[in-house]
A = this chain, B = another copy of it.
Amino acid sequence: MPRPLRTSRRASAGALALRGRIWVDRGDQAALTDAGADLLDQVDACGSLSEAARRLRFSYRRAWMLVDAMTHRWPAPLVSTAVGGQRGGGTQLTEYGRRVLRSYREAQIEVEHALGRAQRRFAESTKAPP
C-alpha cells in the first residue's frame, strides 16, 4: 500500500518524481485517508482494533479516533464491534466497510496509473536544458 503513491518504487535519491495522494472528504472533513484505509485493512486481517493499531504502530487512541471519525462521516458503519464472548469481542469490517475499502483501493490504483503516465511525459519535458 503505497503512501504516498509512488510512480517508481526505486527512484534514485536524486531523481525528480511526480507523487500523488488521494483521500475522501465529506464536506470539508476527511472521511477516509491512507492511514484510515490501512487501519481498515488490518482490522479486516486480524479482527481486533488494538491489534490492528499495534501492527501499524498507531497509538490505540489514534486508531480509535480514526474509526470514530469514519463512523460519523459515512452513511453506514464501516466496522462493527462484538461485545463479550470468549475473546472479549472484537472489531470486524461490515459488508459496507469492505465495499468502501475496496473502492478506495481501486481509486488509488486508477490515480496511480494516471500518475505513472504523467510521470513519463513529465520526465521527458523537464529534462535539463542543454
Mostly, the A contact residues are: mixed
Flag whether A110 is at the interface (Cβ < 8 A). Answer: yes
A binding-site residues for B, Cβ under 8 Å: 11, 13-28, 31, 73-76, 95-96, 99-100, 102-104, 106-107, 110-111, 113-115, 117-119, 121-122, 125-129
CB distance from A124 to the nearest CB of B (A): 9
Q: In the bound complex, do residue B125 and residue A76 qualify as a contact, i.e. CB atoms below 8 Å apart?
A: no
Q: How far is the CA of A42 from the CA of B115 in the complex (A)?
A: 25
Q: In the bound complex, do residue A103 and residue B122 qualify as a contact, i.e. CB atoms below 8 Å apart?
A: yes
Q: How far is the CA of A18 from the CA of B114 in the complex (A)?
A: 15
Q: How far is the CA of A24 from the CA of B123 in the complex (A)?
A: 11
Q: In the bound complex, do residue B118 and residue A110 qualify as a contact, i.e. CB atoms below 8 Å apart?
A: yes
Q: In the bound complex, do residue A115 and residue B111 qualify as a contact, i.e. CB atoms below 8 Å apart?
A: yes
Q: How far is the CA of A99 from the CA of B125 in the complex (A)?
A: 7
Q: How far is the CA of A52 from the CA of B74 in the complex (A)?
A: 40
Q: How far is the CA of A73 from the CA of B25 in the complex (A)?
A: 32
Complex contacts, A103 vs chain B, CB 8 Å = 121-122, 125-126
- Contact partner of A100 (CB less than 8 A), chosen from B31, B73, B126, is B126
Q: How far is the CA of A113 from the CA of B114 in the complex (A)?
A: 9
